[in-house]
Amino acid sequence: AQSVTQLGSHVSVSEGALVLLRCNYSSSVPPYLFWYVQYPNQGLQLLLKYTTGATLVKGINGFEAEFKKSETSFHLTKPSAHMSDAAEYFCAVSGYTGQFYFGTGTSLTVIP
């Protein structure tokens, strides 16, 4: 079974501050882990993914995430928040079947 838990349904940061969105996963098989961003009434845009190899993954728009197997975590970070980062963020886990299981999402607000 696979599942994802996102801690914090709402996160607010000041513009220029560090962004940290938390994600923990549960998987009975080696997981593929993803972060997606969603803007209102739009589909999902892939930020980054971890499949194998280097545990620190860099994505688009300055985001990165680190896969920590010992902590079953895949937290998303960005050193300096920008106003355009305000959106809904979803962590997801997938396995070999192609089905995705999403966390409940974290709404990021950036305060000017």
Nearer to another protein, 42 or 80 (CB): 42
In the complex, the smallest distance separating the C-beta of residue 18 from another protein, rounded to whole angstroms, is 24
Which residue's CB is nearer to another protein, number 84 or number 99? 99
Q: What minimum distance in Å lies between the beta carbon of 20 and another protein?
A: 19
**Which of residues 59 and 62 has its CB atom nearest to another protein in the complex?**
59
Residues forming contacts to another protein in the complex (CB under 8 A) are 32, 34, 36, 41-44, 46, 49, 51, 90, 94, 97-105
Q: Which is nearer to another protein, 62 or 102 (CB)?
A: 102
Smallest distance, Å, CB 90 to another protein? 6
Distance (Å, rounded) from C-alpha 15 to C-alpha 38?
19
State in angstroms the smallest separation of the CB of 15 from another protein: 24
CA distance 15 to 112: 5
Contact 16, 78 (CB under 8 A): no
- Compute the chain's Rg from CA coordinates: 13
Q: Three-class SS string for 24-60?
A: EEEECCCCEEEEEEECCCCCEEEEEEECCCCCEEECH
